[in-house]
Amino acid sequence: MGLFDFLSDKGEQKPAEPAAKPAAGGTDFFGNAADAKPAATGDSYTVVSGDSLSKIAKNHYGDAAKWHQIYEANKATIGENPDHIEVGQVLTIPSL
């Protein structure tokens, strides 16, 4: 069926029905509950002497270059300097 056939065929076509309104709270684009809180993901890790974010990333992810993910997940704990982590700090290791 081509465009011309579609336009000239007036048959028993009905206008499209409006979309149903979402329930209270609704869902986001991906179908997740809009009011749901994100699930806590990842493991926790306690910093020991000699640790760095790149060493932790290498041990957990197998790739030292992924230290940025650990830093972003723990920025409130670590502070503005990712090179300054302290022994005893408990960090969240996010799932990738």
Q: Is the pTM of this model over 0.85?
A: no
CB 57 within 8 A of CB 67: yes
For residue 54, how far is the Cα from the chain centroid?
Answer: 22
Q: Does any domain span residue 92?
A: yes
Q: Does any domain span residue 43?
A: no
- Region of 53 please: left (phi>0), alpha (psi -120 to 50) or beta: alpha
16 compared with 78, residue with greater pLDDT: 78
Q: Which domain holds residue 63?
A: 48-96
Residues 6 or more apart whose CB falls under 8 angstroms from that of 50 comprise: none
Q: Compute the average pLDDT of residues 53-78.
A: 96
Tens of pLDDT, residue by residue over 3-36, are: 666 566 565 666 666 666 555 555 665 566 555 4
Residues 6 or more apart whose CB falls under 8 angstroms from that of 96 comprise: 61, 66, 69
Q: Does any domain span residue 33?
A: no
Q: Does any domain span residue 53?
A: yes
Q: What is the CATH number of the domain that holds 83?
A: 3.10.350
CA dihedral 65, 87, 45, 51 (to 10 degrees): 30
CB 86 within 8 A of CB 47: yes
Q: Largest alpha-carbon pair distance within the chain? A: 78
pLDDT at 87: 96
Q: Does any domain span residue 26?
A: no
Q: Does any domain span residue 2?
A: no
In the predicted model, what is the mean pLDDT of the chain? Answer: 79
- Provide the domain count of the chain: 1
pLDDT at 5: 65
